[in-house]
Structure 1
Amino acid sequence: MDSPTPVVVLASTDPTVRETAIATALLDRPDLVVVVHDLTGDPGPGPETDPADSAVTLTRRVLDWAGAREQTEVALEHACAGCALREDAVPAIAALLADGASAVLLALPLGAEILPATRQLAHETEPGSRLFGARLAHTVAALDPGTIRADLVDDGDVVAHLVTADLVVLAGHDDAGRDLVDALRSPTSALVADLCEPWLALALAGEHDLEDAEERCDPVTSGPGHGFRHVDEADGVRIAASGVWQVELTSERPFHPERLLALAADLAPEATTSRGVFWLPNRPDTACGWEATGGGVLIGVAGPWEESEPQTRLVVVGHGDAGLAPWRSIRRAFLRALATTRETAEPAAWLGRPDPLARFLGDPADLYRTSPPAA
């Protein structure tokens, strides 16, 4: 029986880095076939838009060692990487498998996240599905360490790529950028510090573990990143020689809803990126996720705690002048935002109180609904 054909998923936010990664992959493996997706345009007024009138264009390029095999443009209703994958990439890869391709690289649209793509692809590799006979190899994030500090401010997709990628490949050399990557990428990921090195062989030899990738993104099960190459510890903070630092703030107590809202900006200043989980005294069964980068904060319901003990945990990564100890003000804000033991002593006292976070987290009862509430 022939061995399964490896499929590598490549993600990036920089067009030059992505094209360089594709070129080096083709140099390393002349029998590789690359499928590249790009999405451009305006999705129009809504889901009822006629595809014939759609302003969203999917451009698919199929490349090999000899050059471009084909370039096709397809009108889509939505500027959605998931739709592009389902409607175009999967059939294109299936055709390559039928044609005897020995290895495939799928380059996602710029900024597209890895995990939604691998969820779909994993389903399609099951027996009887369109990509049966293929296997998901390691996923790859190609990034420029020289721009990552600015990218973190402008583009939260960078964090998603670092968290979910099995292999991170760097285009260029920058000590602070490299340390930021190490602080944010998964502890189980591998890193290639030079895009011109033969990274493709590592990716093809690996196997993507979808369950592990899901856990990396789950705020309940995720934790600190990979860690620095050379690190000092001071004041409970890990500090790299470049000035990049990381601190983990934890407590068994919940955040106080009003104080969390008031102190959110102090918990997430501009030169930091943070991820974590928290709970609230007025919704004790709900695990709430926290992501912040570039001074913006995103919170949402991650689901029930189930067998996990409720906890409040933020992992904060910062860059800049570590000598100013910016983590101290963040730590103070964290402690102030926590509910006191006295405030949580009577859970019933929180029932019926106004919830300032409801506009972000929804109705606590939604966690238990299995059908839409009655009108």
Structure 2
Amino acid sequence: MSQLAQPGSSISPADLRPALTLLTGFAPTATREAADLLTRADPSLLTVTYDLAELLVAGTVRRTVRDGRGLVEDERVTLEHGCINCTIREDLLPALVRLARSRPAGDLVLLLPPSMEPEAVTTACGWSHVDGAPVTDALRIDSVVAVCDPGTLLETLDSDQDLADRRLQAADDDTRSVSEVAARQIEFADTVLLWAPDSDLDYEHTRLAVLLQRLNPWARHLVLDLPEPSDSATLASRKSAEFSSRIRRTGRFDPEAPEPYGRGIEGYAVGCHEPEPDCGVVAALYRARRPFHPDRLHQALPTLAGSTLRGRGHLWLAGQPDVIVAWESSGGGVSMGDMGRWLAATPDEEWEESSPERRVNADLHWDAEYGDREIQLAFVGIHFEADEIAALLDACLLTDAEAAEGPAAWREYPDPFEGCFESKERNQ
């Protein structure tokens, strides 16, 4: 077992609630093996698994619960509506609370199906009630662990398929791609496991370990191997116990952490800058104060997405200068969304609605001309030229002459993104 980083635990000794560990990722076999090692180390540990194969067809899900001694529950549940959110609200959270209350001295592990993003579960845990009491009264989320299979990781992150192409969609209108969901699972995790079947790491394992570190530089990273079939029972038990001690009860989950592509406006790094290839892996940060010319950025999208595995962050467009635009790119595609208004475009009396971290960050980096508006993007990939990406993005910025024209003129520029980020809040 190789550990690449080991931050300290933040668990309060007085917190006696059962701890919930979420295992996520696009590697069901590796995830199952990781859960098996945990229950081998602690037979009282309850592992909860959801099968969503019949969710869209019949509106049913299969929930199984196991401990180290075998099957505890196996139920098929019919939902009011066949979707992921209903699964979480109507069955998953009530089941977790019931199990936590039935075994208050024991912990739980939840194995998420590939299409269920951990952020949806942790968010629901934070605000949902079961039997009139908050979910968090019964349990606490201890850690979100992304389990990655070296045999499929690169193909998954580079896939141009949608979830529907693999019959993994969570609803009839689910248009998420395989690559974006897989990347989000890794980026949201506080612990990332590269599940290596061999104890001796080769070049490919090292390359993938570097890639995962670049994708999620704020997580703890582990490279793990299974006990060998030839191991004695004592040695296998020791390996399982060692694995369990590094995964469970770490207290690494932070419910207040910003979403990965929104980290920049809260004052956190959106990624790391490692422009020199390490095993071929390149990471590049790009920052600018001026806005992008919308038409030039639109023309650059295929090159930006096609030359990198993953991009995330936020930006602003000259044609819509009040809007914070979220950026995600993966699998050759780009997703851009509305993150609300810049503080510079927000009435003073509404500033208190923003987090203290965001207000402090804005004050520290306030620009006399643009306020808190800025561009922060992070890109990760294999054998791309960071300088070329930066030059391409620089060419998308307003020129000196265009910047001098001012916002009134900018709003008249041809804008392929016009109408894409108009929220109700700004139109009221």
Is 1:257 the equivalent of 2:294?
Answer: yes
Instruction: Give the TM-score normalised by structure 2.
Output: 0.74
Cα separation, partners in 2 of 1:226 and 1:193, compared to 1, 3 Å: farther
Partner of 1:166: 190
Q: Distance in 1 between matches of 2:76 and 2:418?
A: 43
Q: Number of residue pairs matched?
A: 343
Superposition deviation, residue 99 in structure 1: 1.6
Deviation track 1:53-88 (CA, whole Å, cap 9, x = no partner) reads x52331101010111112111233555332212111
1:150 to 149, 155, 160: 155
Secondary structure at 2:98 match in 1: helix
Structure 2 match to 1:247: 284
Do 1:270 and 1:294's aligned partners in 2 also have CA atoms closer than 8 Å?
no
Change beyond 3 A, Cα 1:186–1:329: closer
Larger fraction in helix: 2
Aligned counterpart, 1:334: 393
Q: Deviations over 1:167-203 (max 9, x none)?
A: 111111512211110001141x212210546443334
1:85 aligned counterpart, secondary structure: helix
SS in 1 for 2:49: strand
2:38 partner letter? A
Contact 1:35 1:60 in 2 (8 A): yes
CA 1:195–1:110 in structure 2 vs 1: closer, same or farther (change >3 Å)? Answer: farther
| Structure 1 segments (4+ residues) deviating >6 Å | none
Alignment of 1:262-277 (within 5 A): 262-277=299-314
Matched letter for residue 298 of structure 2: L
Judge which range, 64-73 or 190-199, deviates more: 190-199
**Alpha carbons 1:182, 1:225 under 8 Å: kept:** no
Contact 2:272/2:378 (<8 A) preserved: no
**Residues in 2 aligned to 1:2 and 1:333: alpha-carbon distance in whole angstroms:** 51
Which one of 282, 295, 312 corresponds to residue 319 of structure 2?
Answer: 282
Q: Name stretches of at least 5 consecutive residues in structure 2 with no aligned partner.
A: 1-13, 160-177, 227-238, 344-358, 363-371
Q: Distance in 2 between matches of 1:65 and 1:85?
A: 25
Aligned counterparts of 2:402 and 2:15: Cα–Cα separation in 1: 64
Indicate how the Cα distance of structure 1 residues 5 and 302 shifts in structure 2: closer, same or farther if over 3 A, else same: same
RMSD of Structure 2 on Structure 1 (CA) = 2.5
Counterpart-to-counterpart distance in 2, 1:367 and 1:344: 28
User: Counterpart of 1:74?
Assistant: 77
CA distance in 2, matches of 1:226, 1:60: 39
Q: 1:166 is matched by which residue type in structure 2?
A: D
Which residue number corresponds to residue 255 of structure 2? 210
Please report the TM-score for the alignment, with normalisation by the length of structure 1.
0.83
> Does the CA contact (< 8 Å) of 1:269 and 1:295 recur in 2?
yes
Identity of aligned residues (%): 27
State the alpha-carbon separation in 2 of the partners of residues 5 and 341 from structure 1.
58
Contact 1:122 1:136 in 2 (8 A): no
